Amino acid sequence: MPARADFASDARVPLVAIEGVTKRFGSALALDDVSLEIGAGEFFCLVGPSGCGKSTLLRTLAGFEQPDEGRTLLDGRDIAGDPPERRPVNIMFQSYALFPHMSAAKNVAYGLARAGLPRAEIAARLRELFALVRLEGFEDRYPAQLSGGQRQRVALARALARRPRLLLLDEPLGALDRRLREATQIELKGIQSRLGTTFVMVTHDQGEAMALADRVAVLDRGRVLEVGPPSALYRRCRTRAVAEFLGDVNVLSGVVVARAGGRAQVRLGESGALVEAADPDGAGETGSNVEVAVRPEGLVPGDALGATVEVATDLGPNALVIARTAGGATLRALLPAPGAAGPPPPGTPVGFAVAPGAAWIVR
């Protein structure tokens, strides 16, 4: 189990440092004292519900919004006064914002022409970029003549053309259908690791963040709730809100009866069963009431928790069982594939136990 890490690697120089940034629109607080450090070469994801300030944070880094308080540093230098055109940062807009009156090639070349590159060099770079996003042959098409996925690639190539230190992506895959999105995720990750460019990507899809990010920051109402590698946050986060945002989770209440190292023995309130839960922060003192989080895949057949099946769905590789305990709590468990017999019918009594290492204490 990976330990909680606030930074992917301390050896990396933070490329971006956001220090106490606050941004208001009128009386609305879009960013509330946000502090983050992002290392060079990192694939960093911002996740959070709609309206939590993700786009505002990207627009602040790109230079379209000025923070009301706090500083944004790039390579240790405060970039507050730099207009967007003078930052070594590029952004891929949620809407792609392709220029409708220019061909795909003209769109991608726009930033290169502004940099005053000679024609021959622009042509060479265009070939590279169109190959990188696998759009050879579409150079002369206008945005209106391209599919959604092709437009997304043109926008990516255009944003990469100036070889930015930092690439900002605002829900780059949001407009694609599920299949295409999954294929594009893999490609995006490939392009990022090949170029070594630092990516900061906004998504409201926690699965996408899990699949792509080196580290994730979970935002809510303008505040950073938690930061860390997605697999660590998924299994060991500090707060219930983050646990719930990152996927399905069962939250059980109980009392700490013993502690040892980073672990606590918790007697569950309803069944009285003893569960061992990770508690890296030491949140639960002996005798205190705590909440224990367990992912659906952390519940296994056993006898610690008795319940009756409400709905069971065969998902193919496994079955999702939603069951209710005698006390009225709902449990969600991801069990092995039910086989040809099918999932258990509603009303079937079931028993669960917590898999070793699967539970942790949340606030």
Binding residues (CB under 8 A) for another protein: these are 62-64, 83-85, 89-91, 93, 95, 97-101, 110-111, 114-115, 142-145, 158-159, 161-162
56 makes contact with ligand ADP (CB under 6 A): yes
How many amino acids of this chain bind Mg ion (CB under 5 A)?
Answer: 1
**Which lies closer to another protein via its Cβ, residue 7 or residue 142?**
142
Contacted by 25, from another protein, ligand ADP, Mg ion, none: CB < 5 to 8 Å by type: ligand ADP
* The Cα angle at residue 74 between residues 32 and 56, in degrees rounded to 5: 35
Closest by CA to 66, choosing from 57, 74, 75, is 57
**Angle, helix 178-195 to helix 148-160, in steps of 10 degrees:** 20
**Which lies closer to another protein via its Cβ, residue 83 or residue 118?**
83
How many amino acids of this chain bind ligand ADP (CB under 6 A)?
Answer: 11
Closest by CA to 254, choosing from 236, 238, 239, 273, is 273
Edge to edge, the sheet with strand 14-25 lists: 28-39, 14-25, 69-74, 77-78
For residue 251, which phi and psi values (nearest 5 degrees)? -115, 115
- End-to-end Cα spacing for the chain: 20
**Which lies closer to ligand ADP via its Cβ, residue 18 or residue 293?**
18
For 124, the 3-state DSSP assignment is helix
**Chain position carrying tokens 């971006």:** 16
Segment 15-54, which members bind ligand ADP (CB under 6 A)?
25, 28, 30, 48, 50-54
Q: How far is the CB of 30 from ligand ADP (least distance, A)?
A: 3
Residue from 55, 198, 203, 250 in contact with Mg ion (CB under 5 A) = 55
Q: How far is the CB of 363 from Mg ion (least distance, A)?
A: 28
Alpha-carbon span 312 to 184, nearest angstrom: 32
Contacted by 30, from Mg ion, another protein, ligand ADP, none: CB < 5 to 8 Å by type: ligand ADP
Contacted by 85, from Mg ion, ligand ADP, another protein, none: CB < 5 to 8 Å by type: another protein
Q: How far is the CB of 46 from another protein (least distance, A)?
A: 18
Alpha-carbon span 361 to 240, nearest angstrom: 9
Give me 153's structure tokens: 């690639």
Q: How far is the CB of 188 from ligand ADP (least distance, A)?
A: 19
Of 48-56, 67-75, 272-280, 293-301: span binding Mg ion (CB under 5 A):
48-56
**Which lies closer to another protein via its Cβ, residue 38 or residue 61?**
61
For residue 292, what is the DSSP state? E
Alpha-carbon span 129 to 32, nearest angstrom: 38
What are the residues binding ligand ADP (CB under 6 A)?
25, 28, 30, 48, 50-56
Provide the binding-site residues for Mg ion, judged by CB under 5 A. 55
